[in-house]
């Protein structure tokens, strides 16, 4: 027990500039950014903490495989489990149906024996090449507080009903939107709940837009309208405490517009399927049989900084 | 202070000597980058140089890409306080993040923007006229704001170019080269490259990603008939530039 020290100087620490405490699922990062988890702890590590609030994440889909859905599921489930709000939009007629496929957090490791049986691997893990360059302690750090920020998810178990039926979720079907202004307005209303100011953040929001591409009724200036929508979404997200993720099929865009979309993203990811029975890959990669696809990180958000 | 490390870039632009007049005065500088290699650090560096304490320069920053807080934090680490520069009327920040031209005609929006710039410069004391830098981040987003009417954007840039002769200011723009290189007729890019007196291209290395080298810069200075090429590494408070094969310039 330290004895109380009498002050010997007139300088005292300005406690009001200490980092404000934030709501659940949020973590302070460098340069005044606050992160929320992608729902995949390995991906959070690769990205340097998670997705920064105010950023736009874009995911380039693989036309031959639905792996982007895995990213979305984990992203959405993570938000719901931690009490964050969610706006989900998809081309399906009834987007709510997708919520039934969200995974539940995996059982805590304390409940089972310490021995992890590799055959029981049920969550989405990311095996990345440079993992071996990190010290063991860095990888396994902070297990105690982890569940307040991110969870491992069990893709075989559906998320409990009460998470999905809560008031914190809103769904929009693109089919119901005659043009993008409806979707833009829904996003604006949603984001108005989390205005950004200097202070502690009580609640954060997540927007997930799946397979954003030209709706059935395409018209001549459509490509520019979609770009305009993304730009306005990005600027709305920038001034709020939320993260938006948009997945899109690059094959449906002209190469020039595809590049424009890529430049719009703060964080740019792409997913690619791995062929079964590829002998060359099997020799190159350990654990090839367990792998379902490649995740490429093309760009990492640089908010308030010019370095990664 | 940090003069040594950025010498190659400053040298290529004539900024390594503290001379009057400001070497970029009356010139158009076009920065081009790609998804893999961002060129915004060049913009930050030029902004810092234009607001250096030795000069009486004024910077007008037209931001389509990021809010003020983003640039403020970055420039602070580079040793430049944008808030106090703004308070001293040396830095003007035009936040265009929410400019939406469908509401007003693309032409109307850009004409209004030009008017605002002209008014701001005219309102300055005459002695400052010759030392104004207009910085645009970035042109591809200006096209989006104009709803695809690239012709209006080009007209706007031509008008800004008249300012470089009328008031002797410098125009510094950032654009993304890989958007246009995929088009059949990359008119916009070619026009911009034609307009530019100095072209700075940020590209990835041919060998791919590396921790020690973030990319390469090619500076084509038409006024001096000189082309420089070197590697760079971006850090929090400085950009290190060095010739290929060496670690420090």
User: Which tokens belong to A100?
Assistant: 């039934």
Whether residue B35 and residue A262 make contact (CB cut-off 8 A), yes or no, is yes
- The Cα B241–Cα A266 span in angstroms is 25
Please indicate, yes or no, if residue A132 is contained in any of the structural domains: yes
pLDDT in tens, B121-155: 988 887 777 789 999 999 999 999 888 888 889 99
Name residues whose C-beta falls within 8 Å of residue B97's C-beta, 6 or more positions apart in sequence.
Answer: A235, A238, B63, B64, B65, B66, B67
If one compares B120 and A14, the residue with the highest pLDDT of the two is B120
pLDDT computed for residue A86 by the predictor = 94
Whether residue B141 and residue A304 make contact (CB cut-off 8 A), yes or no, is no
**B67 interaction partners in chain A (CB closer than 8 Å):** 238-239
Out of A263, A299, A307, whose CB is closest to B176?
A: A263
Please indicate, yes or no, if residue A18 is contained in any of the structural domains: no
If one compares A137 and B83, the residue with the highest pLDDT of the two is B83
Split into its structural domains, chain A has a count of 1
Please indicate, yes or no, if residue A1 is contained in any of the structural domains: no
Q: Residue A206 is inside which H or E element, if any?
A: strand A205-209
Residue of B34, B42, B148, B188 to mutate when probing chain A, most A C-beta within 10 A:
B148
Instruction: Please determine, for residue B165, whether its predicted confidence score (pLDDT) is greater than 90.
Output: no
Among A214, A296, A298, A295, residue whose Cα is nearest residue A252: A214
What is the residue extent of each domain of chain B? Answer: 26-242
pTM: 0.86
Please indicate, yes or no, if residue A5 is contained in any of the structural domains: no
pLDDT in tens, A152-186: 888 888 888 888 888 889 998 887 777 788 899 99
What sign results for the dihedral spanned by CA atoms A251, A255, A260, A263?
A: positive
Instruction: Please determine, for residue A18, whether its predicted confidence score (pLDDT) is greater than 70.
Output: no
What number is the average pLDDT over the span B244-249?
A: 64
pLDDT computed for residue A50 by the predictor = 93
SS3 state at B26? coil
Structural domain of A261: 26-104+126-299
SS3 state at B170? strand
**B66 interaction partners in chain A (CB closer than 8 Å):** 238, 303
Please indicate, yes or no, if residue A13 is contained in any of the structural domains: no
Contacts 24+ apart (CB under 8 A), A289-297: A290/A121, A291/A127, A292/A65, A292/A67, A293/A62, A293/A65, A293/A67, A295/A43, A295/A67, A295/A71, A295/A126, A295/A269, A295/A270, A295/A271, A296/A269, A296/A270, A296/A271, A296/A272, A297/A46, A297/A47, A297/A267, A297/A268, A297/A269
Whether residue B73 and residue A268 make contact (CB cut-off 8 A), yes or no, is no
pLDDT in tens, A23-38: 788 988 888 889 999 9
Please indicate, yes or no, if residue A94 is contained in any of the structural domains: yes
* Contact yes or no for B148/A221 (Cβ under 8 A): yes
- CATH number of the domain to which A210 belongs: 3.40.50.300
- A262 to chain B: closest CA residue: B35
Please indicate, yes or no, if residue A113 is contained in any of the structural domains: no
Instruction: Please determine, for residue B83, whether its predicted confidence score (pLDDT) is greater than 90.
Output: yes
B140 touching A (Cβ < 8 Å): yes
pLDDT in tens, A193-229: 999 887 788 889 999 999 998 665 556 678 888 999 9
> What CATH number has the domain spanning B26-242?
3.40.50.300
Please indicate, yes or no, if residue A98 is contained in any of the structural domains: yes
pLDDT computed for residue A213 by the predictor = 82
């Amino acid at each position: 027990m330290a004895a109380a020290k009498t002050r010997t100087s007139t300088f005292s620490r300005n406690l009001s500039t200490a980092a404000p405490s934030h709501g659940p699922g949020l973590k302070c990062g460098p340069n005044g950014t606050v992160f929320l988890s992608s729902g995949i702890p390995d991906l959070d590590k690769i990205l340097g903490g998670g997705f920064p609030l105010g950023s736009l994440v874009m995911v380039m889909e693989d036309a031959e495989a639905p792996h982007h859905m895995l990213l979305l599921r984990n992203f959405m489930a993570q938000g719901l489990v931690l009490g964050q709000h969610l706006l989900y939009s998809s081309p399906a007629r009834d987007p709510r149906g997708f919520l039934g496929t969200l995974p539940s957090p995996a059982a805590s490791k304390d409940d089972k024996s310490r021995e992890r049986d590799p055959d029981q691997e049920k969550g989405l893990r990311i095996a990345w090449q440079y993992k071996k360059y990190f010290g063991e302690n860095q990888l396994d750090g902070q297990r105690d507080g982890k569940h307040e920020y991110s969870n491992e998810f069990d893709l075989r178990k559906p998320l409990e009903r009460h998470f999905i039926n809560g008031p914190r979720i809103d769904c929009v079907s693109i089919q119901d939107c005659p043009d993008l202004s409806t979707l833009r307005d829904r996003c604006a209303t949603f984001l108005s709940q989390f205005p950004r100011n200097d202070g502690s953040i009580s609640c954060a929001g997540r927007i997930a837009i799946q397979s954003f591409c030209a709706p059935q009724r395409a018209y001549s200036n459509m490509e520019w309208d979609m770009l305009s929508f993304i730009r306005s979404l990005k600027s709305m997200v920038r001034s709020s405490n939320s993260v938006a993720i948009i997945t899109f099929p690059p094959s449906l865009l002209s190469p020039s517009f595809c590049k424009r979309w890529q430049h719009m993203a703060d964080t740019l990811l792409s997913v690619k399927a791995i062929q079964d029975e590829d002998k060359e890959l099997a020799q190159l990669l350990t654990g090839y049989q367990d792998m379902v696809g490649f995740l490429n990180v093309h760009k990492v958000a640089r908010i308030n900084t010019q370095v990664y | 202070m940090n003069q040594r490390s950025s010498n190659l870039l400053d040298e290529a632009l004539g900024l390594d000597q503290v001379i009057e007049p400001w070497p970029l005065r009356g010139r158009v500088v076009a920065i081009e980058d790609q998804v893999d290699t961002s060129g915004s650090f060049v913009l930050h560096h030029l902004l810092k140089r234009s607001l250096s304490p030795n000069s009486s320069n004024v910077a007008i920053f037209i931001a389509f890409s990021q809010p003020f807080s983003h640039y403020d934090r970055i420039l602070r680490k580079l040793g430049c306080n944008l808030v106090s520069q703004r308070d001293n009327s040396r830095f003007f920040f035009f936040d265009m993040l929410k400019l939406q031209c469908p509401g007003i005609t693309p032409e109307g929006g850009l004409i209004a923007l030009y008017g605002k710039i002209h008014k701001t410069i005219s309102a300055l004391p005459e002695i400052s006229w010759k030392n104004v830098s207009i910085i645009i981040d970035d042109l591809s987003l200006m096209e989006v704001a104009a709803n695809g009417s690239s012709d209006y954007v080009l007209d706007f840039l031509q008008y800004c170019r008249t300012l470089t002769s009328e008031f002797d200011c410098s125009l510094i723009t950032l654009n993304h080269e890989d958007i246009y290189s995929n088009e059949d007729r990359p008119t916009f890019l070619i026009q911009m490259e034609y307009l530019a007196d100095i072209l700075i291209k940020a590209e990835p290395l041919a060998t791919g990603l590396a921790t020690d080298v973030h990319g390469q810069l090619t500076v084509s200075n038409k006024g001096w008939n000189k082309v420089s090429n070197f590697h760079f590494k971006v850090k929090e408070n400085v950009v290190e530039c060095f010739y290929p094969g060496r670690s420090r310039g």
